Amino acid sequence: MRVSLVLFLCFWAFSCNPKPQPVAKEEAYFNIEQLLADEIRHLLSVKAGLEKKVTSDGNTDHITIVPADEDEWKGQLGLFLAANIAMPGNRGAYFSETLSLLEGHEKVIYTAKSAKQAVQTMECLYVDGELEQVDIVTGEHNVIFDSSKQLTLYLDKNSGHLRGFKIKGHEEMHLKDVLDFEVEAVITY
């Protein structure tokens, strides 16, 4: 009788405990900062340069530079680095969806849940599983200042390394002229 009572109590104690629920995995966003840190190391190792075409107020300038260190490359890629959505403060701030396009093409789209986010959208295009392009739209709007930028990173489909970027922007500020600009850059190896 005692054995039956002990077995019954053990069975009852273990059967009443709820099953552990799986913890919802926090969605990870694309980390453009990590991508660019890796690319900057590569660009420095091969002593890559940059050919830029800068257009502003109807004027176009062509610039060729060879950034000498990490800080110079970060300066050239600063708008992209500032557009990193994979930061702890952004957890849950973006919707994420994956679209299968043509055969072998897939696009991952991150869309801000709030208009207050500086990065409104980030789209990552993958071809045969390799990242080929990153498109970012940023916007900042308040009573004094209105700014929007379209940023695009291009990666080589064979090597996976950065091959260029494009920045198109529009800025308005009270008591100042409107500024529209475009930067097209090609990495020279």
pLDDT number for residue 17: 42
Query: How do residues 100-131 score in pLDDT, each as one tens digit?
Result: 988 899 999 999 999 999 999 999 999 999 99
* CB contact set of 150 (below 8 Å; sequence gap of 6+): 135, 136, 137, 166, 167, 168, 169
Mean pLDDT of the chain: 88
In the structure, what pLDDT confidence band is assigned to residue 143 with cuts at 50, 70 and 90? confident
Q: What is the model's pLDDT at position 27?
A: 56
User: Would the pLDDT of 144 be above 60?
Assistant: yes
pLDDT per residue over 54-98, tens digit each? Answer: 999 889 999 999 999 999 999 999 999 999 999 999 999 999 999
Query: What is the sign of the dihedral through the CA atoms of 188, 48, 136 and 146?
Result: negative
Burial of 20 per CB tally in 10 Å (0-12, 13-18, 19+): exposed
Angstrom distance (rounded) from CA 86 to CA 10:
47
pLDDT at 6 over 70: no
Instruction: List the structure tokens of 115.
Output: 């208009």
Residue 168 is predicted with a pLDDT of 98
Residue 76: C-alpha distances to residues 39, 49, 177, 187 (Å): 12, 11, 25, 11
pLDDT digits (tens, 9 = 90+) for 30-48: 999 999 999 999 999 999 9
pLDDT at 176: 85
Is residue 131 classed exposed, middle or buried when 0-12, 13-18 and 19+ CB atoms within 10 A define those classes?
Answer: middle
Question: 80 with 36: CB under 8 angstroms?
Answer: yes
Residue 5 structure tokens: 């009572």
pLDDT the model gives residue 22 = 37
The answer to whether residue 158 scores a pLDDT higher than 50 is: yes
What pLDDT is recorded for position 162? 98
φ and ψ of 77, to 5 deg: -105, 15
94's tokens = 């973006």
pLDDT in the model for residue 8? 45
**How much is the pLDDT for 13?**
44
Instruction: Kindly list the domain boundaries of the chain, sorted by start residue.
Output: 26-188
Nearest alpha-carbon partner for 82 in 119, 133, 37: 119
